[in-house]
Structure 1
């Protein structure tokens, strides 16, 4: 799959650079353009046609909702994630009605940013498979799991494992295009390698993920995991 082209709309230069750096840390994404106000944004998105727009709400000449509505009115083929300090419930409701794939409240950490973009990549890959999507596919795209009480889930897991960490690892793997080793998963999730290995072994035994054994020219074979 070609790199996902990202455009950032943000009026604060420092925040712009942080977000651009976050994009650069993620494989499979490339920064296609930057805009510091609404006028620049409309001109640039017409020209570069990004796949994804990371949009602030508070802009010097407009706001994110108005810009989002203009994108939708003109049927520009791109998706939008709001990265903003705006917490007004009525504004947020209107923004979701206008069509965004995610809404991230500032200030945010890199792991939340990473989750949003990896979930978007997973969604895009599903859409490009060119096959009918079933309910399980749609639930995975929306991050919906069948309801189970948290207590019941914890009881069903082996001792020492918890559902939150399990879902963190699964969500990370969902955004990957190639099998990864336990060390690579640990690096990507920020978890300890020993911890990650236990969860990967459990998920592989359950059949939730697949283990590929890869042999190099020298040394021991490496176990790599994928959904």
Structure 2
């Protein structure tokens, strides 16, 4: 089980993020903090694998907190979860060692993808002895690629679905400027309409895409699909 500390100055947002974490298998929230001082105190007394960290805290910034964590010897991994979207902050987060960066507002699916990627990274590292021993270039590439695995394709694809096709559909939707019909997805992906519909239905059930209806003058409404991250927001920025 991966123990998570949720850090956000807004009590309501912290509760929402904690509820999201609790819905992802293999993760549990062990504590919530609303200031940097509370977060450090939690790290001193409790085991934490992962910190979901807001940047805008009342006593110091999230990035400053990450730097202090490392200075004090706290090795918990960090995923930034914040409304801060300026490039300087994103770049600083990378330099300070944040593994992922999720911009508010976001959906449950958006956070789940980041968590799944983190879990994939831990599984990969565990496969190499949990940090012991040495790794060749192939092993290093697998470690660095682990965080991207869950983003490329949903975990737990049902029988008859392939990760490359799921990734192709995801790429078509994320690159589209507006919602697409199943026919349009099929044409852009180079797959049959029935295949496109099958993957779109699966991704909708998984919460990865949003469905809207386009009504014409006559006949049934047309189903149109859009990638749900990060535009389908159920979490408000603070």
Match of 2:117 among 92, 116, 119: 119
Once residues 204 and 93 of structure 2 are traced to their aligned partners in structure 1, the CA distance between those partners, rounded to angstroms, is 35
1:95 counterpart residue number: 93
Matched, 1:140 2:138: no
SS in 1 for 2:127: coil
Displacement of 1:75 after TM fit? 2.5
Cα distance change on mapping 1:54 and 1:130 into 2, 3 Å: same
So what's the TM-score if we normalise by structure 1?
A: 0.63
TM-score (norm 2): 0.60
Distance, in Å, in 2 between the alignment partners of 1:29 and 1:162 is: 25
Q: Higher relative CO (CA 8 A, sep ≥ 6), structure 1 or 2?
A: 2
Q: Tell me, what secondary structure is at the counterpart of 2:56?
A: coil
Alignment match, 1:20: 18
Distance 1:39 1:21, change over 3 A: same
Q: What is the CA–CA distance in structure 1 between the aligned matches of 2:62 and 2:88, rounded to whole Å?
A: 14
Deviations 1:35-79 (A, max 9, x none): 010111100111113000000000111110110101122221210
User: Secondary structure of 1:92's match?
Assistant: helix
Aligned partners of 1:105, 1:166: CA distance in 2, in Å?
19
Which is further off, 69-78 or 97-106?
A: 69-78
Does the 8 A contact of 2:6 with 2:51 survive in 1? yes
Aligned length: 161
SS at match of 1:141: helix
d(CA) in 2 for partners of 1:95, 1:62: 15
Match of 2:51 among 42, 53, 60: 53
Tell me how far 1:88 sits from its aligned partner: 1.8
Q: Where in structure 1 do 4 or more consecutive aligned residues deviate above 6 Å?
A: 182-186
Aligned-partner Cα distance in 2 for 1:54–1:136:
25
Give the C-alpha shift of residue 137 in structure 1.
1.1
Aligned to 1:73: 71
SS of the aligned residue for 1:54 comes to strand
